[in-house]
Amino acid sequence: MKSLRNVALTILLFCSSIIAWELIVRVFEVPTFIFPAPSKVAMALWRGFASGLYQKHLYHTLLETVLGFLFGSALGFFLGTAVALNRYIEYFFYPYIVMFQSLPKVALAPLIVVWFGLGLKSQVINAALVAFFPLLVNTMVGLKSADEDRLNLMRSLAASESQIFWMLRLPNALPFVMAGLDVAMIFALIGAIVAEFVGARAGLGMLIQSMNFNMDVSGQFSVLLILSIVGLLLNRCILLIRRRILFWDPSEKERLEQERIAL
Amino acid sequence: MEAIAVNELSKLYSTRDGTVHALQQISFSVSEGEFVAVVGPSGCGKSTLLKVLAGLLPPSKGAARLRGTPITGPRRDIGVVFQSPVLLPWRSVLDNVLLPVDVQRLGRDRHLKVATDLLSLVGLDGFERRYPWELSGGMQQRVAITRALIHDPAILLMDEPFGALDAMTREQMNLELQRIWLERKKTVLFITHSIPEAVFLADRILVLTPRPGRIIDDVQVKIPRPRALEVMNFPEFAPYVHSIRGRFDAKGMIDS
């Protein structure tokens, strides 16, 4: 009963803010190139999809994001594993990795365009670079966080180091890895969009830029709306995978519990 | 042949404040099939002793043998039960029990039946597919005991296995452990800081004092088995508890 009331309240709040926005823009006669009314944004959205323009660019951005996410997180995962398992790799490479992380990777985008051109490759590389680090750090921390008692248990069974890795360290690291994937997904989207700003032939970021030149603010708003929905959906995908894999993790159950209350 | 033979065993730790004698020249032996409790206040090196016997810590001096062979590291003919159940949350109860089988590649198929039999021995039939978080503390510790028994070890090392349980569950677990022991006839070295628990369970009690950890008494408990919980109210029970506690009081260490 309570959840039904909450859903109703959520819808009511959403509708009333849209109406308020529309009214304020109309009453105060705010020019569309400054702040468009929701009706204008909706029209831009419809036009964009009806002409097939948005689908094309959406596809491009999604492809870059997903590919960048996959490459970046795979690389981060393997490098994180190497650093966690090998003291020498950690000693020699970790300082550089940290230096690289403190660099805003967005600043690399122009260079990457110079090196790899305006095509898909550039944007995928940029997305991968941004997505890579959360996986690296989380994998590293997760693999190193195995509980001393559990390690003693495995050792008392005369387990080999590789058995300890597969049966204890890796499953133990999964909650950390999943949290890293969560962040990496959104980071990949940011990386892709920034790369498109810098230079690309297609994509929603490129679309925003060209609309900006044409003072098409309603169009920009409609693309922003698409981007936030894309971000939300990608995040949901990770959440679903996470729930399947981490059914045993107490913090996962806590999240579920909280969401149930929120609904 | 003795199941456990410890000879002049010492374990030193160096800390910032100097060297700590966790164990000093400890010697004792445990016969095959014997249930021996090691009792002492916290910090007397009981857990260190167990870790040395489990091959998790090397001794500083002296030697320990299990079934005739010196301990050089972890080995497969022992089962260890720790203070906390230490179950892996991503494994079901059955998979947790089968962990030693997986690690030592003993063949899952052959041990499935053993696992279900053992689980029903500890009163957990029907819980195979459950996960650790669905079980109470006492049930989790039973799973841990089952896991320690699955590969049919000759020796069971138990480090205060019921220390974290409430008093009622603890008594229940004591009864069950006795039952399992009577049925399986393993050699058990049981570490505890509860004197009544030691008297109730053991054939023999080694009394350990802290800093330096050494054995100051070796008590035979001559109460017939199987022992019911009422044994604790029998006239022969109290003198054991009294005399062991007396050893600690004399040294100014009171620990119930």
What's the confidence (pLDDT) of residue B22?
Answer: 86
Same domain, A25 and A144: no
- Structure tokens given for B229: 């919980």
Say yes or no to pLDDT of A128 above 70.
yes
Helix (H) or strand (E) holding A107: none
pLDDT in tens, A25-62: 999 988 888 889 999 999 999 999 999 999 999 999 99
- Structure tokens given for B18: 């100097």
Percentage of chain A exceeding pLDDT 90: 74
Verify whether the Cβ–Cβ distance A157 to B133 is below 8 Å. no
Confidence (pTM): 0.84
Mean pLDDT of chain A: 91
Verify whether the Cβ–Cβ distance A158 to B88 is below 8 Å. no
Verify whether the Cβ–Cβ distance A171 to B88 is below 8 Å. yes
Q: Looking at CA atoms only, how far is residue B42 from chain A in angstroms?
A: 18
Say yes or no to pLDDT of A230 above 80.
yes
Q: Where residue A100 sits, what CATH number does that domain have?
A: 1.10.3720.10
Mean pLDDT of A133-150: 93
Same domain, A68 and A151: yes
Same domain, A89 and A203: yes
Verify whether the Cβ–Cβ distance B133 to A250 is below 8 Å. yes
Say if strands B204-209 and B35-39 run parallel, antiparallel, or are unpaired: parallel
User: How far is Cα B171 from Cα B200, in angstroms, rounded to an integer?
Assistant: 10
* Contact status of B99 with chain A (Cβ, < 8 Å): yes
ipTM of the complex: 0.88
Mean pLDDT of A102-125: 90
Question: What domain range is A7 assigned to?
Answer: 1-30
What type of residue sits at position B233? N
User: How far is Cα A97 from Cα A182, in angstroms, rounded to an integer?
Assistant: 21
Same domain, A105 and A146: yes
Same domain, A8 and A69: no
Same domain, A21 and A77: no
Q: Looking at CA atoms only, how far is residue A258 from chain B in angstroms?
A: 18
Say if strands B69-70 and B61-66 run parallel, antiparallel, or are unpaired: antiparallel
Tell me the chain A residues in contact with residue B76 when contact means C-beta distances shorter than 8 Å. Answer: 157-158
Burial code of B61-96, b = ≥16 C-beta within 10 A, e = fewer? ebebbbbeeebeebbeebbbbbbbbbbbebbbbbbb
Tell me the chain A residues in contact with residue B99 when contact means C-beta distances shorter than 8 Å. Answer: 157, 167
Same domain, A155 and A230: yes
The pLDDT profile of chain B, 256 residues, written as one tens digit per residue, is 789 999 999 988 888 888 888 888 899 999 999 999 999 887 778 888 999 999 999 999 988 999 989 998 898 889 999 999 999 999 999 999 999 999 999 999 999 999 998 898 888 989 999 999 999 988 999 999 999 999 989 999 999 999 888 888 888 889 989 998 998 889 999 999 899 999 999 999 999 987 788 898 899 999 998 899 888 888 889 999 999 988 887 665 544 4
* Nearest residue, CB atoms, A159 vs list B86, B103, B132: B103
Same domain, A20 and A134: no
Verify whether the Cβ–Cβ distance B80 to A153 is below 8 Å. yes
Say yes or no to pLDDT of A139 above 90.
yes
What's the confidence (pLDDT) of residue A261?
Answer: 59
What's the confidence (pLDDT) of residue A154?
Answer: 95
What's the confidence (pLDDT) of residue A197?
Answer: 92
Same domain, A82 and A9: no
Tell me the chain A residues in contact with residue B89 when contact means C-beta distances shorter than 8 Å. Answer: 248-250
Same domain, A206 and A130: yes
Same domain, A175 and A201: yes
* Nearest residue, CB atoms, A158 vs list B84, B90, B104: B104
Same domain, A97 and A204: yes
Q: How confident is the model at residue A163 (pLDDT cuts 50, 70, 90)?
A: very high
Say yes or no to pLDDT of A3 above 90.
no
Domain count, chain A: 2
Q: Looking at CA atoms only, how far is residue B103 from chain A in angstroms?
A: 6
